[in-house]
Structure formats: C-alpha cells, structure tokens
A and B are shown apart, each in its own frame.
Chain A
Amino acid sequence: MAFLSFRDVVYRRGALTILNRVSFDLEPGETLVLLGRSGSGKTTALRLINRLLDADSGLILFDGEDIQHLDPILLRRKIGYVIQEIGLLPHWTVGQNIGLVPTISGWDPTKRDERARELLSQVGLPPGEYMPRYPRALSGGQRQRVGVARALAANPALLLFDEPFGALDPVTRREMQVQFLALRNRYRTPSVFVTHDVAEALALASRIAVLDAGNLEVVATPDEFRNASTPVARSFLDTLKPVHEVH
C-alpha cells in the first residue's frame, strides 16, 4: 500500500485554483520529485501534507489515514521538512537546532545530543567542531546540511524537501545531492522533493511528477521521463541542452 496518497486534491486561493484534482501515490522508500515552474503549485502540495494548509476538497492519506483526522502537531513531528531558506533558529547552536523535534517532543537531553552528533557526522560536519557553533558562523551549504540533519533527527516517517538546494552554488548543490543520495540509502525514508531543476529531478527521483499550473501531468521513472513526449515534459528536458540547440 502507498505510504502517502493524494486523491483528487483541490486547493484554491480566492478565485485561483492552485491545485486542480491532483492525485498521486508515494510508495514506501521512494523519492517522488515534484518538478514544476515557479507558481505551479508544488510548494502548496508540500504544505498540504504537513497541514500548514488544508485542501478545499479531495483526500490525503498518510500511512492509510486521512490527515484531517490526525492531530496536526503530532503529524508534523513525524514529517521532516527542509526548505530553501532553511529557517535555523539563530539563537540556538547547531546541536540545539538539530535537536529541535526531539526537544519539543520531550526526549532526554543526553539522547537528543547523541542523536545530533550522529547526524552531524552523517552530513559530513565533525560534531566536536560544529555542535556548539551558531548558524551565523556557517556557510550556506553547511547550514543546509544542518537543515537536513534537523529533518532527520526524530526518525521521521516521511521527508519533505522544498527546493532545498536551490539557493546554493552549483558545486555545493552537487555535494548536497550526493549527500542526499547517501542518506537515502541509509534511511530509506519516503520523500517528496520539490524542484524546478530537471537535472536534479533526474538525479534524485525514483519517480518524477510534473506540476503545471496546478495540474499533475506525468508520473514516470527518470528513464521514462527522458523519453516523455508531452509538451510540458519536453520543455523541461530542453533545459538540459545548450541554448543554441533548442528550436
């Protein structure tokens, strides 16, 4: 059974339909990439999953349960969330930031710090050096490593990524993508990953879904997607070619 399902989900803002009858399934262990242009509704889709927003109609099932029947606070603590702006607490150390969900869920502090150290090493930052640092003393890439570690801290059942590497330089972005794949092999946590970068989608996805003006168009494996013939998929694939080769 799918771990997460959208069934005809509609979300409107005023007269605008942001998501128009969107349906998809996320299977255990897979990474579904939502590929779309700015304003296509992909961030909205993520925010519906952890109930930062609520759908106007349709159904979202989390591990078989309608999320409207779940306590939003407890639901969110089971879902790791990584955003482009990261949103680390500036007055908390790296260790405290990674331990955010354990802290608010009432873990024992020793266990929490142990977990933070373990995760810091896994994202490639030596804990001895980085645990006591404040976010302002980190580079952009290091901050996002901490953001990813924070999302993993309380062993979430699901991970949501909202263009997490979009603001990083290309070299750092590549390092983060490699890191992402390594962590996925370790944890196998089902993930929904939002991006507008088709190369990133092809590199990270188990399957790719394209969102275009609120409509979900293609759900395919990266290999199938490379040969997709729909205009929307083609327009994304064309971005992989040098500008002068595209007609």
Chain B
Amino acid sequence: MDRMVVESLLRDIGVLSLEHLQLVAIASLIAAVLGVGLGVLGTRRPTLRRYSLAFANVMQTVPSLALFGFLIPIPLIGGIGQRTATISLVLYALLPILRNTITGIAGVEPSIREAAVAMGMTNRQLLRHVELPLAAPTILAGLRTAVVATIGTATIAAAIGAGGLGVLIFRGLASVDTLEILAGAVPAALMALAADALMAIAEHRLEIQR
C-alpha cells in the first residue's frame, strides 16, 4: 500500500481521536454536573425527581441520529456542528447518571442517615459527609455507563459535522473503503474499552474503601 496513504490515514486517526475525546469529555462533564445536581435535588423534591427522570428517559429512548435531527432546526442550540452534537450527547448521557445518583443516595442505610441527622448535621453536611460518599460507587457506575455509551454515540455525531472518529467511518462507508471504516471504528472501540476499564478500577477502589 502507498506509504503516503497510510501516513495520512494515521494522521487523521490521531487528530480525529483527539477531537472525539474532546467531544466526549465535554459532554460527559456537563452531563455529570447536570445529572448529579438534578439527582441530588431530586432526592429532596419528589416532583422534580419524577419529571427529570421522565425527561431523561424520553431523551434516551429517541434514536441518537433522530435526536441530532430534531435539534438541528431549533434556534440557538441547533444547527450543524459540535454544539448541537454536544447538547444531544449530554441529553443522552443524562439518564444513567441521574438515575444512579438518585438510587445511590436513596440506598444509604436509614439508620446511618438517622444518626447523622439526629447528631445535628445540616442538610449540606449530610450530603457532603454521608450521602455523596456512600453513593459514590453507584454514581461512578452510572458515569461509566454514560461515558462508554457517549464514546459510541459520538461516532454518529460526525453526521452533523461534529468531527471525531465518525468522520472516518462515514467516509469509509461512502467510498466502500473497509480500511477507512476500521480506521474509525477500531480506535473508537478501543477508547470505549479503555474508559470502561479505567472507571471499573476507580469504582472498585471506592468500594473497597468501605
């Protein structure tokens, strides 16, 4: 095979992997802040919990390509490009994080919560010293699911011009070039596996601390 072609493909993989990683990192970070925040508020306000879970549920049910499509015509947040892709990835990643935050906090043993409250912890101290640390492994598990899924979904974001490894896959599909498809698909899969493994280790560390 032509050396020039291989070199240019490798360069593309490098650049697009970074782009992909950036897209995933930003979307996951926003989803984590929103998901944990809404989850914590939801444990205090049942109505908010119901509505936010229902919303996140619906968002995850919509096929990802369709979600990109829906967002494009919406003014301000829509259009073609990374912003639209980021927003839909966030909406997509929200459910596992939100759900696990609520489950994790609700799973704190009642006697531990009762003792902490009865000793005079404020709501904020209860959250910081008791609920978040005890829910941390569950929240991290939700984040792990979200990140791994986002790495996969982000390949589709290339369809609306967000860049990333999906660019290679779509280009390969268009020109029926298996090598190019694999050049996008294999790094994306490796990225997902690596993220999963790293976060599994973190989760395990958190669990053995108790």
A and B associate: yes
User: Given that A83-B114, A87-B114, A89-B129 are known contacts, is A76 also in contact with B210, CB under 8 Å in the complex?
Assistant: no
B134 in contact with A91 (CB, 8 Å): yes
Main secondary structure of the interface of B (DSSP, over half): helix
Q: How far is the CA of A74 from the CA of B121 in the complex (A)?
A: 9
B112 neighbours in A (Cβ, 8 Å): 87-90
The proximity string for B residues 101-125 relative to A, scoring 1 for CB distances below 8 Å and 0 otherwise, is: 0000000010111111111111001
Say yes or no: B120 contacts A76, CB within 8 Å: yes
CB of B61 within 8 Å of the partner chain: no
Does A134 lie within 8 Å of B210, measured CB to CB?
yes
Interface residues of B in 123-149 (CB under 8 A from A): 125, 129-130, 133-134
Within 8 A of B (CB), among A2-16: none
Closest to B115 in A: A87
Interface of A is mostly: mixed
Residue A211 CB within 8 A of the other chain: no
Q: Tell me, rounded to whole Å, the shortest Cβ–Cβ distance linking B120 to chain A.
A: 4
Alpha-carbon gap, A150 to B117, bound state (A): 14
- Nearest residue (CB) in B for A135 is B210
* A176 interface residue per 8 A CB criterion: no
Please, how many angstroms separate the alpha-carbon atoms of A79 and B114 in the complex?
A: 14
* Known contacts A91-B133, A134-B210; A74/B115 CB under 8 A: no
Instruction: Determine the chain B residues whose CB is within 8 A of the CB of A157 once the complex forms.
Output: none
Whole-angstrom CA separation of A150 from B119 in the bound complex: 9
B8 in contact (CB, < 8 A)? no
- Complex CA gap A50/B114 in Å reads 11
15 contacts between A and B (CB under 8 A): A52-B114, A73-B122, A76-B119, A79-B118, A81-B115, A83-B114, A83-B118, A88-B115, A89-B130, A90-B210, A91-B134, A91-B209, A101-B119, A101-B120, A104-B122
